[in-house]
Amino acid sequence: MSTPIKVIIVGALGKMGRETVKALENRLDMAIAGLVDVMHPGVSFAELTGIDCGLDLENDLEGLIAKVKPDVMIDFTNPQAVFNNTRRALACGVNCVVGTTGLNEAELSQLEQLAQANGTGVAVIPNFAIGAVLMMKFAQEAARYLPDVEIIETHHDQKMDAPSGTALKTAEMINANRGIQPPRNSREFEKIPGSRGGKAGDIRIHSVRLPGFVAHQEVIFGGPGQSLTIRHDSYDRVGFMPGVVMAVQKIVGIKGLVYGMDALM
């Protein structure tokens, strides 16, 4: 049997961090080597969460990397912390799986250069759900025939960034495969600014933030006398875990940056 992949999880106390600990703790091909969270350093993870993985929380990422020498860092933190966390890990020769959205193009470019320079891999994944990847692929294909499209994405009310990384990735894929775009309604005006949503290229994206939701997206196409709606719903974060596991397994064999689960499937 091959040596298990040593993994550290940053943002371990968050909802995705906790679910990831549960998903990896009993796997034979992976070993959780450390947990990082700025809250409650030195406190047992089990004491705070009821998930007994035998580890205490730490808040010194570089110190933990030097101590346990992980193969992979998984980041589920926030848009303010993710770039520096990933930059530090790559500089230490650690492969990275990034589930935190909010990285801009300049930051992605820097991370790609750093990964290449250090012979490491970084996977930036806006959405780990396999069904969401299929939704994006189906939308990309539909855009060849129905270029008029808008996106509505709904998330829980604690999500920090809008629009979601999934919505932006969907718009990017659609724009890359779109036919000729029809002329827009030049007389349209917004009685309330922002009521028509934001724009990625010329695709409108509408972001909804409400309690009770996890992650949901509709891609709505319109054409003469017809419409097509492609929708994906995540009801529980456990649905993201097969994608997290796949990303960890594959990133150890990749050099440079990959963006989106579709690049790993």
Q: Which residues are catalytic?
A: 155, 159
Cα gap 56→42, rounded to integer Å: 6
Three-state secondary-structure class, residue 13: coil
Cα gap 30→21, rounded to integer Å: 11
210: DSSP letter: -
CA 251 from centroid of its chain's CA atoms: 15
8 Å CB contact between 35 and 58: yes
Cα gap 215→141, rounded to integer Å: 22
Closest by Cα among 182, 173, 188, 177 to 224: 182
H/E stretch holding 168 reads: helix 165-177
| Joined tokens for residue 87 | 């930059």
Residue reference for tokens 């709606």: 229
